[in-house]
Amino acid sequence: MIDRGLGDFHTMSVARRALQMLWPWTSPSPQSNTSHEPPLPSIEYIPVHGAWEKKDHPNWPASAFKIPDVIKPGQVFYLRKGKFVDMGTIARIELLPTGEVVKTPLENPLNPREEQMNRDNMQYENEIYRLLGDVSFVPKLLGWDSASCTLTLEHQTNGSLDDRKACFPERPGIEVSGARVDAA
């Protein structure tokens, strides 16, 4: 049996609430019996070893580095670009062997509209990074692949933006171009 790195195996199911918004007929009504409802569809994200891992595992067969030919509905196999860091609501984040971070929009074969929204959100994020330019507390934009809507960013050693925000006390108001806007 091939060790496919089950320690790094990350399976994510689509949140029940989001699915209920997308497929409202699955939401139980007070009159309905939930045992008669069809199971909610889910997405399973399954990593496949990337070519960059071949040097660490030279004896593994080529099949360990390729997406299977047969895929069940709801399964999304993807070639790993680097070490898994996190998965958000719109993107998967991986640390590349070169030290940069890559953000790839999540695929959703069960809902092409949601998948397109993820791609659009990545395009918006790219524009935001371009507008911000070189700011010391924002990761530098190192690359943008318009075909795959993938961002390559400078790796922030202090963790994610949420991790960094947690280290600082909350301040009421927002400063915009030297002017302070107080929270209502």
Structural domain contains residue 75: yes
Helix (H) / strand (E) element for 17: namely helix 16-22
Range of the domain at 92: 6-25+37-159
Looking up residue 107, the CATH number of its domain turns out to be 3.30.200.20
Q: What is the tens place of the pLDDT at every residue in 43-67?
A: 999 999 999 999 999 999 999 999 9
- The residue among 176, 159, 181 whose CA lies nearest residue 168 is 159
What does DSSP assign to residue 8? G
Q: Are 75 and 42 in contact (CB under 8 A)?
A: no
Q: What's residue 170's pLDDT?
A: 66
Of 161 and 154, which is predicted with more confidence?
Answer: 154
Distance, CA of 25 to chain centre? 27
What does DSSP assign to residue 159? -
Structural domain contains residue 164: no
Structural domain contains residue 86: yes
Q: Taking 50 as the threshold, does the pLDDT of residue 27 lie above it?
A: no
Structural domain contains residue 181: no
Structural domain contains residue 13: yes
Q: Are 8 and 57 in contact (CB under 8 A)?
A: no
Which tokens in the block code for residue 19?
Answer: 């699915």
Domain count, the chain: 1
3-state secondary structure of 139: coil
Q: What is the tens place of the pLDDT at every residue in 86-118?
A: 999 999 999 999 999 999 999 999 999 999 999
| Average pLDDT, rounded, for the chain | 79
Which tokens in the block code for residue 93?
Answer: 């984040």
Which tokens in the block code for residue 161?
Answer: 């933006």
Structural domain contains residue 130: yes
Q: Taking 50 as the threshold, does the pLDDT of residue 79 lie above it?
A: yes
The structure's pTM equals: 0.67
Structural domain contains residue 179: no
What does DSSP assign to residue 9? -
Which tokens in the block code for residue 110?
Answer: 């069960």
Q: Read out DSSP for 44-108?
A: EEEEE--GGGTTT-TTS-GGGGS--S---TTEEEEE--SEEEEE-SSEEEEE-TTS-EEEEEPP-
